[in-house]
Amino acid sequence: MQQSVLKSARRVVVKVGSALLTNDGRGLDRRMIENLASQICALVKSGREVVFVSSGAIVEGVLRLGWSRRPERICELQAAAAVGQMGLAQAYESAFSAHGVRTAQMLLTHADLSDRERYLNARETVRELLKLGVVPVINENDTLVTDEIKVGDNDTLGALVTNLIEADVLVILTDQKGLYTADPRKDPQARFVSVAEAGDPALEKMAGGAASTLSKGGMITKVLAAKRAARSGASTIIASGREERVLERLAGGEAIGTQLNAADTPWHARAKWLADQLRVQGLLVLDAGAAKALLEKKTSLLPVGVKAVQGDFVRGDVVGCIAPDGTEIARGLVNYDSAQLRLIAGRHGGEFAGILGFMGPEEAVHRDNMVMLPAAGAR
């Protein structure tokens, strides 16, 4: 029987869902928080580095404000998050300090992870905290975030943090046992999935079903998070947070829940950052020759191979490279803004100065600033 990958892991990200932390919406579950803190502290004292990705700020804020339901207006959600975050921080500080372990709060948005400089700053901060023996508690900054810049769910945030710090394992604790081949509430033939390969397309078909009323996630977001975490070589464990001492038993090698193993070697850190952008700023539609050159010869993308430019972007933004069949095969940092690139698309380098009034880079996207995507069959 396969052992838990947490047994040999040195750096771990633990993500816990709202239903567990808020007692299914009835308020912060202090006993659960103290239980999790005790287990995480045990992992830290065993020599592991642990980052805790937390949900529940909005749910806790709604309860503290005396509202009967989760609001829909952005400003109300942000207010609830601001109020609830205070409760979460207080609870974590108290629970972890009881075991002699310090915590630090970090609130992130997608913008923090999509901007290269801020991404690197966040990574160095987390790494320094881990060196100091501190447990970083990370949540999305719901007090400021809007739909345009939000990560969207904390399963995805957990995967992004896993890639950010190059963790060995992502553990997603939920109120479910793990992944089934179908919804066991509806299909008596549903079988439990104990081990699979992260990124297997069949997993996404299995993971249908709505999220709980407390969160925006669901099993599909966990499967997709595992797929994303695998890009940095991290395996994912999806298990019930209500299992007795689940983290410590996993660290002891016991197989609990669903383990989704990373099949591939880690990507280079820069490539991971490019591949993990949830929102590209524009798309470059390539001709067949350019697509073939990228896929087979690993070349840079030249403007002459660009048939169409979609979206508005500036120099340095992340853009997707689209093959003639509509597949996104690569992603990279563009050397021209969208207006300039529309002017020189399909043109050779010697024509640039006459069109733009200056001689810019030969490449639309340089190979050093590009990553091939898994769908393209390359790493």
Average pLDDT for residues 175-192, to the nearest whole number? 87
Q: Is pLDDT at 308 greater than 80 in this prediction?
A: yes
pLDDT tens, residue by residue, 281-294: 999 999 999 999 99
Average pLDDT for residues 23-36, to the nearest whole number? 87
Rounded mean pLDDT of the chain?
88
pLDDT tens, residue by residue, 232-245: 889 999 999 999 99
Query: Where does the pLDDT of residue 378 fall: very low under 50, low under 70, confident under 90, or very high at 90 and above?
Result: very low
- Residue 313: partners with Cβ closer than 8 Å, 6 or more residues away: 281, 282, 319, 334, 337, 338
User: What is each CA distance from 366 to 299, 302, 363, 371, in whole angstroms?
Assistant: 8, 8, 6, 10
pLDDT of the residue at 1: 56
* Residue bearing the bigger pLDDT, 160 or 207: 160
Average pLDDT for residues 28-34, to the nearest whole number? 92
pLDDT tens, residue by residue, 95-141: 999 999 999 999 988 778 877 778 878 988 999 999 999 999 999 88
Place of tokens 């108290």: 94
pLDDT of the residue at 282: 95
Query: Where does the pLDDT of residue 215 fall: very low under 50, low under 70, confident under 90, or very high at 90 and above?
Result: very low
Which among 20, 48, 55, 46 has a CA at the least distance from the CA of 34? 20
**How many residues in the chain?**
379
Q: Give dist(CA 69, CA 182) in Å, integer.
A: 30
pLDDT tens, residue by residue, 66-104: 998 888 888 898 899 899 999 999 999 999 999 999 999
Domain boundaries, the chain: 5-272, 280-376
pLDDT of the residue at 234: 94
* Residue bearing the bigger pLDDT, 22 or 247: 247
Q: Is pLDDT at 4 greater than 90 in this prediction?
A: yes
What is the percent of the chain where pLDDT is above 90? Answer: 60
pLDDT of the residue at 375: 58
Joined together, the tokens standing for residue 364 give: 């639309």
Query: Where does the pLDDT of residue 216 fall: very low under 50, low under 70, confident under 90, or very high at 90 and above?
Result: very low
Provide the CATH number for the domain formed by 280-376 in this structure.
2.30.130.10
Query: Where does the pLDDT of residue 327 fall: very low under 50, low under 70, confident under 90, or very high at 90 and above?
Result: very high
* Residue bearing the bigger pLDDT, 290 or 279: 290
* Residue bearing the bigger pLDDT, 316 or 33: 33
Q: Is pLDDT at 44 greater than 60 in this prediction?
A: yes
What residue ranges in the chain does DSSP mark as E strands? Answer: 11-16, 49-54, 103-108, 135-140, 169-174, 179-180, 192-193, 195-197, 235-240, 258-261, 282-286, 306-310, 318-322, 328-333, 370-372
CATH T-level fold of 5-272 = Carbamate kinase (3.40.1160)
13: Cα within 13 Å, side-chain hemisphere: 32
Q: Is pLDDT at 151 greater than 60 in this prediction?
A: no
DSSP 301: B
